[in-house]
Amino acid sequence: MGGGDLVSGEQPAGQERHVAVIGGGITGLSAAHALLGGDRAGGRRLRVTVIEADRRLGGKVRTEEIAGESVDVGAESLMVRGPAVRALCQELELDGELVAPTRTTTCLWTRGRTRELPAGVLGGMPQGVWPLLRSGIVSPAGLGRAALDLVLPASVSDGDRSVAEVMGARFGREAVEQLVDPLLGTIYATGCDSLSARAILPHVDLAAREHRSLLRGLRAAGKPGGAGGPQTASKPPAAAAKGPAPPSFLTLPGGLERIVARLRHSLAGEDLRCGVHAGPLLRSVDGRYRLHVSHAEPLQLDGVVIATPAPQAAAVLGAICPHAARRLRAIGYSSTVVVTLRFRGDALARPPAFVGLLVPRSERRLLGALTVLSAKWEHLAANGELWLRASVSRDAVASALQLEDGELVRRIIAELREAIGLKGAPLDAHVTRWRACLPVYAPGHQERIDAVEQALCDLPGVAVAGAAYRGVGVPQCIEQGRQAAKRVLHSLVTPSSHLMQPTTKGGTR
């Protein structure tokens, strides 16, 4: 059923429905675009109001102009696993411009040198013990401990455990600290001892529950039809498919904020309010919703998509659904700091052998990760300059947030000189501080989100979406925004008698 059919329902011909999208990041804008796409398909009237507390749209998708070059200082690439990103880019006429990285080699900087990650490690499955031993990332003793996974008794698997607990019980502390933690810490800006295995690595969690040996469970999951794996019998893994696998990461020359610009253009004529705060959501006597906003009269609404960070979503839902709000307040957030550097092309004695560099926490460095942007993306290598993106170690973020830009850049460059032989002074340096930017998927996260969504079943036309729920990446946020729009559109066919009778369940009124 198309979006137009959903909107038609039982509403009288020509009656306008009003939906608010709270949050103008990539999730909210994707939701607003999908709402209007469904509306236009059926020729019905739907009015959308986007409310964003910041002065700009786009949220964590931000592109800055540095020395005439457009460089992403927030989300830097798109991990493409589902159809949402390509579908949206097709609708925005950007799909033909998506590009893949030229290289994807990743190294660790540990014990005084850079060491290449063996094939398969990024996917969670090292392809053989010898390459891992030769790399020196894990000591012979650490590898021996990891091998005990094959003979140790099954681990206790009650409840949702942290990634460190699940993998550490099988492979040992060193393997977790040297391999797992640097990889996940770069993505989630927190340690794997604070991350839910069920929410972050569901295939690992399932394999650990269903198999005595985690390694054998992961191997079984990777086979066609293997239980718990991402593939099924009808869809073999990419390695077994004919032809090269499609790229996992994509970006747009000119920056990912081009998606935001196109989304904003698609919303031309709609009510876009930046610098405006949403207050409590309430139920009106006629069964519709009333949303308080700053500097304006309350909005009378037929539907609401809440696409804000969890604390703001809790504030919106506090009066109408306190159970969901209480769960949302329990979600913590971490911060990160990104330093973008531009150097002359000869700042390195030889081209880097990698595009990504990870630094384990045990090294106690300010540097947590490095991306050689000009080695990863062809469009940034065109003028022969060296572009680097450095992320501060999560253990050093609190102090880095307080440092002056000049001092922070000086310290990062000093460590880069030691790590990769960088020389000379930067031509440009840009510091971006992202405070409380990434939700922490702590153990119990999935159950917490299930409870939030269950509580919202009592509020037809109200949906939540965004990084706090089911994936922090831009593609997951796009998908969540589009799905939230579908749920709201679907609610508009609910018989008016249902909408006109406010429920008292879940704290609504």
- Beta-carbon contacts of 439 under 8 Å, excluding residues fewer than 6 positions away, are 309, 310, 331, 332, 333, 467, 468, 472
- Comparing CA positions, the residue from 162, 245, 244, 236 lying closest to residue 205 is 162
What integer pLDDT is reported at residue 122 of this predicted model? 53
The C-alpha angle 293, 441, 30, rounded to 5 degrees, equals 45
Q: How high is the pLDDT of residue 498?
A: 42
pLDDT of residue 191: 92
Architecture of domain 3-59+255-331+442-507: 3-Layer(bba) Sandwich (3.50)
In whole angstroms, give the CA distance from residue 385 to residue 125: 35
Q: From first to last of its 509 residues, what are the pLDDT tens digits of the chain?
A: 333 333 333 444 457 899 999 999 999 999 999 999 865 434 458 999 999 999 999 999 999 999 999 999 999 999 887 888 999 999 999 999 999 999 888 999 998 888 888 766 655 555 555 566 677 888 889 989 988 989 999 887 788 999 999 999 999 999 899 988 998 988 899 999 999 999 999 989 999 999 999 888 888 876 543 333 333 233 334 444 455 667 788 999 999 999 999 999 999 999 999 999 999 999 988 889 999 999 899 999 999 999 999 999 999 999 999 999 999 999 999 999 999 999 999 999 888 889 999 999 999 999 999 999 999 999 999 899 999 999 999 999 999 999 999 999 999 999 999 999 999 999 999 999 999 999 999 999 999 999 999 999 999 999 999 999 999 999 999 999 999 999 999 988 754 434 444 444 334 33
Q: What are the structural domain ranges in the chain?
A: 3-59+255-331+442-507, 102-123+333-439, 138-152+161-178+186-243
pLDDT of residue 44: 53
| Strand-strand pairing, 278-283 and 271-274 | unpaired
- Integer Cα distance of 320 and 306 in angstroms: 13
What CATH number does the domain located at 102-123+333-439 have? Answer: 3.90.660.20
Buried b or exposed e, range 156-191, using 16+ CB within 10 angstroms: eeeebbbbbbbbbbbbbebbbbbbbbbbbbbebbbb
CATH entry 2.60.120.380 includes domain 138-152+161-178+186-243:
no
Q: For 129, how many CA atoms within 13 A lie in the half-sphere containing its CB?
A: 11
Q: Please indicate whether the domains covering 102-123+333-439 and 138-152+161-178+186-243 agree at the CATH topology level.
A: no
- The one-character DSSP state at 387 is E
pLDDT of residue 5: 35
The three-state DSSP-derived secondary structure of 448-489 is HHHHHHHHHHHCCCEEECCHHHHCCCHHHHHHHHHHHHHHHH
> Tell me, what's the pLDDT at 215?
85
DSSP 195: S
The whole-number pLDDT of residue 137 equals 86
Q: What values do phi and psi take at 196, rounded to 5?
A: -70, 125
* Cα pseudo-dihedral 143, 229, 478, 262, rounded to 10: 80
Q: Cα 48 from chain centroid?
A: 25
Where helices occur in 23-137 by DSSP H, the ranges are 26-42, 84-91, 129-135
How far is the CA of 339 from the CAs of 68, 253, 336, 389, 448, in angstroms? Answer: 17, 20, 10, 6, 34
